[in-house]
Amino acid sequence: MKTLNKIIFTILAIPLLLSGCQTGNSGQSGALSSDVASKVYVKPGEHDEFYAMVSGGFSGQLSVYGLPSGRLFKVIPVFSVDAEKAYGFNEETKPMLNTSHGFIPWDDSHHPELSQTNGETDGRWCFINGNNTPRIARIDLGTFETAEIIELPFSGGNHSSPFTTENTEYVVAGTRFSVPYPQKDMAIEEYKGNFKGALSFISVGEEGDMDIAFQILMPGFDYDLAHSGKGKSHGWTFFTTYNTEESNSLLEVGASQNDKDFIAAINWKKAEEYIAQGKFRTVATEYAHNKYDDATHSATSTIKKSVKVLDPADCPGLVYFLPTPKSPHGVDVDPTGEYIVGNGKLSANLTVHSFDKVQQAIANKSFDGEAYGIPILKMDEIVVGVVEQAGLGPLHTEFDGRGNAYTTFFISSEVVKWKLGSWEVVDRQPTFYSVGHLMIPGGDSKKPNGKYLLAMNKITKDRYLPTGPEVTQSAQLFDISGDKMKLLLDFPTVGEPHYAQGIEAEKIKPRSVRIFKLEDNQHPFAAKSDKETKVVRDGNTVHIYMTMIRSHFTPDNIEGIKVGDKVYWHITNLEQDYDVPHGFSVMGAQNSELLVMPGQTETLLWEPLLEGVIPFYCTDFCSALHQEMQGYVRVSGKNANVPLKWSLGDHM
Partner 1 sequence: MKTTQFMLLVLLFSFTSCGNADKSKSDVAETKTTVTEKPKSMIADPRENKGIGPITSVSLGATIDEEMAAHGKEIYDAKCTACHKPDTKFIGPAPTGIFERRSPEWIMNMILNPEEMVQKDPDAKKLLMEFNGSPMANQNLTEEEARAVLEYFRTL
Report the alpha-carbon distance of residue 116 to residue 165 in Å, rounded.
Answer: 8
Q: How far is the CB of 92 from partner 1 (least distance, A)?
A: 22
Residues numbered 491 to 530 that lie near partner 1 (CB under 8 A) are 515, 518-519, 528-530
Q: Are 562 and 537 in contact (CB under 8 A)?
A: no
Q: Which of 270, 279, 484, 550 binds partner 1 (CB under 8 A)?
A: 550
Measured from the CB atom, the residue of 114 and 629 that comes closer to partner 1 is 629
Residues 276-315, mask of contacts with partner 1 (x by CB under 8 A): ----------------------------------------
Q: How far is the CB of 600 from partner 1 (least distance, A)?
A: 14
Q: Where are the beta strands (DSSP E) in 77-134?
A: 98-99, 102-103, 113-117, 120-130
Q: Which amino acid is at 527?
A: A
Measured from the CB atom, the residue of 518 and 635 that comes closer to partner 1 is 518
Q: Are 371 and 363 in contact (CB under 8 A)?
A: no
Phi, psi values for residue 397, rounded to 5°? -135, 140
Measured from the CB atom, the residue of 25 and 529 that comes closer to partner 1 is 529
CA distances from 405 to 97, 400, 480 (A): 38, 7, 11
Report the alpha-carbon distance of residue 276 to residue 201 in Å, rounded.
Answer: 15
The total number of residues shown for the chain amounts to 652
Report the alpha-carbon distance of residue 445 to residue 288 in Å, rounded.
Answer: 30
Measured from the CB atom, the residue of 233 and 573 that comes closer to partner 1 is 573
Q: Are 60 and 106 in contact (CB under 8 A)?
A: yes
Q: How far is the CB of 577 from partner 1 (least distance, A)?
A: 4
Stretch that binds partner 1, among 51-59, 545-553, 610-618, 634-642 (CB under 8 A): 545-553
Report the alpha-carbon distance of residue 160 to residue 158 in Å, rounded.
Answer: 6
Q: How far is the CB of 184 from partner 1 (least distance, A)?
A: 57
Q: How far is the CB of 143 from partner 1 (least distance, A)?
A: 17
Q: How far is the CB of 567 from partner 1 (least distance, A)?
A: 22
623 contributes a contact to partner 1 by CB under 8 A: yes
Q: Which of 316, 564, 637, 649 binds partner 1 (CB under 8 A)?
A: 649
Measured from the CB atom, the residue of 46 and 579 that comes closer to partner 1 is 579
**Which residues is 383 bridged to in the sheet?**
353
Measured from the CB atom, the residue of 33 and 576 that comes closer to partner 1 is 576
Measured from the CB atom, the residue of 122 and 530 that comes closer to partner 1 is 530
Burial letters 605-630, b for 16+ CB under 10 A, else e:
bbebeeeeebebbbbbebeeebeebe
The number of residues that bind partner 1 (CB under 8 A) is 23
Cα–chain-centroid distance for residue 135?
A: 11
Measured from the CB atom, the residue of 29 and 576 that comes closer to partner 1 is 576
Residues 551-590, mask of contacts with partner 1 (x by CB under 8 A): xx-x-------------------xxxx--x----------
Q: Which of 46, 462, 624, 639 binds partner 1 (CB under 8 A)?
A: 624
Measured from the CB atom, the residue of 48 and 532 that comes closer to partner 1 is 532
Measured from the CB atom, the residue of 252 and 650 that comes closer to partner 1 is 650
Report the alpha-carbon distance of residue 195 to residue 430 in Å, rounded.
Answer: 40
159 contributes a contact to partner 1 by CB under 8 A: no
Q: How far is the CB of 647 from partner 1 (least distance, A)?
A: 13
Report the alpha-carbon distance of residue 76 to residue 52 in Å, rounded.
Answer: 13
Measured from the CB atom, the residue of 226 and 622 that comes closer to partner 1 is 622
Measured from the CB atom, the residue of 483 and 519 that comes closer to partner 1 is 519
Q: How far is the CB of 624 from partner 1 (least distance, A)?
A: 4
Give the 3-state secondary structure of residue 241: strand
- CA torsion sign for 208, 76, 112, 79 is negative
Stretch that binds partner 1, among 296-304, 305-313, 328-336, 550-558 (CB under 8 A): 550-558
Q: Are 410 and 427 in contact (CB under 8 A)?
A: no
Phi, psi values for residue 100, rounded to 5°? -70, -15
CA distances from 505 to 48, 64, 145, 441 (A): 7, 12, 17, 11
Stretch that binds partner 1, among 376-384, 389-397, 434-442, 548-556 (CB under 8 A): 548-556
Stretch that binds partner 1, among 220-228, 310-318, 465-473, 543-551 (CB under 8 A): 543-551
Q: How far is the CB of 616 from partner 1 (least distance, A)?
A: 17
534 contributes a contact to partner 1 by CB under 8 A: no
Task: Say which DSSP state 467 is in.
Answer: B
Residues numbered 442 to 461 that lie near partner 1 (CB under 8 A) are none
DSSP 495-539: S----EEEEEGGGTGGG------GGG---TT---SGGG-EEEEET
Task: Say which DSSP state 579 is in.
Answer: T
**Which residues is 266 bridged to in the sheet?**
237, 319
Stretch that binds partner 1, among 105-113, 398-406, 419-427, 617-625 (CB under 8 A): 617-625
Q: How far is the CB of 575 from partner 1 (least distance, A)?
A: 6
Q: How far is the CB of 620 from partner 1 (least distance, A)?
A: 14
Phi, psi values for residue 232, rounded to 5°? -65, -30
Binding residues for partner 1, per CB under 8 A? 515, 518-519, 528-531, 547, 549-552, 554, 574-577, 580, 623-625, 649, 651
